[in-house]
């Protein structure tokens, strides 16, 4: 008889997709494992998890806004409601372990599990531990991390350096190279820049690239540019109608394996999932951390790579002025590209999901 596991959290793709990867790895290790997800009502996990074939329960929970809003006034009621429902879920499902991957929903269900004496595992995806995970860590049975030196946040004897689970389709990119260039209608003989600011988009990244598109194309470089859905109309109207050779502007890239296969250099935000993918693909990268995230964790992620000389960081406030120069310099410097590639590959953890699943399986029973 397999174990019964609750996986909690979500809110963004950076939480949801690793959670599904962990669930898949648990099922691969033992097909009789029963898995229940717990997410936040109205968030993307409520759609993505059932699409992946797993049941999910929703909690009436949200984060605290930085300004006075109705959501903030409702937060105490949402929290009490979510904790009450979390205890009910624990009683009914009777899990052998509860896994928290971050996001609004992980707090109540992890708290309820701790109170019930059920083993818990925290999967911390960033180089800086969030407040919820720091509060939950004292009672966690195990903590899986994606960055070294996390003992400053968590008890060292419970840390497992597993990395972050990522999509399976971004390995062995060299085999896809010609097919990928055909897909985008680009030339395999020209250096290509991939720009990814997240599925919603990043205004700083988009405006910084827009300033340098003509120069990049004039110098013979190609550009695959994901604007994100919020900024698609603006930048597609500005550039796509011209259809210059070597420029592909789109709101969302569905075949990221093809995009990575084409890329010589990547410009990206510094979310945990993006960085884990960059480590696995070994792409020389320029990271522009978003300042609009909890506890500025993207800057901590980028600094962790910069410390290992595995990526170049450009601050969000400086990107509009500096990105063009930094990008051109990197494109022209083959030696720096190789150094960045070698360093970032050392941080890759291709079997992260399987390693996390193994830690979960080995958790003590209640």
Q: pLDDT in tens for each of the 366 residues of the chain? A: 689 999 998 777 678 888 999 999 999 999 999 999 999 898 888 999 999 999 999 998 876 555 555 666 676 777 888 899 999 999 999 999 999 998 778 999 999 999 999 999 999 988 888 778 888 999 999 999 998 889 999 999 999 999 999 877 787 798 999 999 999 999 999 999 999 987 666 889 999 999 999 999 999 999 999 998 877 788 877 876 666 789 999 988 989 999 999 999 999 999 988 999 999 999 999 999 998 887 788 999 999 999 999 999 999 999 999 999 999 999 999 999 999 999 999 999 999 999 999 999 999 886
Q: At 39, which helix (H) or strand (E)?
A: strand 34-40
Give CA separation, 136 vs 1, 140, 143, 155, 166, in Å.
29, 6, 10, 11, 24
Give CA separation, 290 vs 118, 201, 296, 300, 302, in Å.
36, 11, 8, 11, 10
Tell me which DSSP letter residue 189 carries. Answer: T
Is 305:275 a contact under the CB 8 Å cutoff? yes
Q: Find all residues with CB under 8 Å of 31, minimum gap 6, and list them.
A: 2
Distance (Å, rounded) from C-alpha 195 to C-alpha 205? 8
Going by the annotation, the residues of the binding site for UDP-N-acetyl-alpha-D-glucosamine are 12-14, 126, 167, 199, 253, 298
Q: Find all residues with CB under 8 Å of 325, minimum gap 6, and list them.
A: none
Distance (Å, rounded) from C-alpha 103 to C-alpha 286? 26
Distance (Å, rounded) from C-alpha 63 to C-alpha 283? 34
Distance (Å, rounded) from C-alpha 315 to C-alpha 131? 24
pLDDT of residue 12: 72
Tell me which DSSP letter residue 212 carries. Answer: T
Q: At 267, which helix (H) or strand (E)?
A: strand 265-268
Which has the closest alpha carbon to 154: 118, 116, 111, 121? 121
Angle at 261 between CA 288 and CA 290, to 5 degrees: 15
Chain center to CA of 15: 7
Q: Find all residues with CB under 8 Å of 197, minimum gap 6, and list them.
A: 205, 206, 226, 227, 228, 268, 269, 288
To the nearest 10°, the Cα dihedral for 141, 147, 149, 150? Answer: -30
In the chain, CATH 3.40.50.2000 sits at 4-164+351-361, 168-345
Distance (Å, rounded) from C-alpha 196 to C-alpha 80? 38
Angle at 264 between CA 173 and CA 276, to 5 degrees: 60
What three-state secondary structure class fits 134?
helix
Distance (Å, rounded) from C-alpha 106 to C-alpha 287? 28
What three-state secondary structure class fits 203?
helix
pLDDT of residue 70: 60
Which has the closest alpha carbon to 56: 26, 18, 97, 89? 89
Is 332:274 a contact under the CB 8 Å cutoff? no
Count the helix, strand and coil residues of the chain and give each as a percent rounded to the nearest 5.
50, 15, 35
What three-state secondary structure class fits 116?
coil
Q: Find all residues with CB under 8 Å of 284, minimum gap 6, and list them.
A: 264, 265, 266, 311, 330, 336, 337, 340, 341, 344
Going by the annotation, the residues of the binding site are 12-14, 126, 167, 199, 253, 298
**Has domain 4-164+351-361 been given CATH number 3.40.50.2000?**
yes
pLDDT of residue 66: 54
Sign, CA dihedral 198-200-203-206, equals positive
**Has domain 168-345 been given CATH number 3.40.50.2000?**
yes
Count CA atoms closer than 13 A to 221's CA, side-chain side: 25
Is 40:58 a contact under the CB 8 Å cutoff? yes
């Amino acid at each position: 008889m397999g174990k019964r596991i609750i996986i909690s959290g979500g809110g963004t793709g950076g939480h949801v997709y690793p959670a599904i990867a962990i669930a898949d790895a648990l099922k691969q290790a033992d097909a009789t494992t029963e898995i229940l997800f717990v997410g936040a009502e109205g968030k993307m996990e409520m759609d993505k998890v059932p699409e992946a074939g797993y049941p999910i329960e929703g909690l009436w929970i949200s984060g605290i806004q930085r300004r006075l809003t109705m959501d903030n006034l409702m937060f105490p009621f949402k929290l009490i409601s979510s904790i009450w429902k979390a205890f009910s879920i624990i009683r009914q499902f009777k899990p052998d372990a509860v896994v928290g991957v971050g996001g609004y929903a992980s707090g109540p269900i992890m708290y309820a599990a701790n109170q019930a004496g059920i083993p818990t595992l925290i999967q911390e995806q960033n180089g800086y531990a969030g407040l919820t995970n720091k509060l939950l860590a004292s009672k966690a049975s195990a903590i899986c991390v994606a960055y070294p030196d996390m003992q400053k946040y968590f008890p060292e004897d419970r840390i497992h350096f597993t990395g972050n689970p990522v999509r399976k389709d971004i390995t062995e990119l060299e085999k896809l190279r010609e097919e990928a260039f055909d897909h985008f209608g680009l030339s395999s003989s020209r250096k290509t820049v991939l720009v990814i600011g997240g599925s919603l988009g990043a205004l700083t990244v988009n405006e910084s690239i827009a300033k340098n598109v003509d120069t990049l194309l004039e110098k013979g470089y190609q550009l695959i540019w994901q604007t994100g859905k919020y900024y698609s109309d603006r930048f597609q109207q500005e550039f796509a109608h011209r259809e210059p050779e070597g420029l592909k502007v789109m709101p969302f890239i569905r075949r990221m394996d093809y995009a990575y296969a084409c890329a010589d250099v990547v410009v990206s935000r510094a979310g945990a999932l993006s960085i884990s993918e960059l480590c696995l693909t070994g792409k020389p990268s320029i990271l522009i951390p978003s300042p609009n995230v909890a506890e500025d964790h993207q800057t901590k992620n980028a600094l962790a790579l910069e410390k290992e000389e595995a990526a170049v960081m450009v601050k969000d406030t400086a990107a509009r002025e500096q990105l063009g120069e930094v990008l051109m310099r990197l494109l022209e410097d083959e030696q720096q590209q190789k150094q960045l590639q070698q360093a970032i590959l050392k941080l890759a953890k291709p079997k992260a999901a399987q390693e996390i699943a193994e830690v979960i399986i080995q958790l003590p029973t209640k």
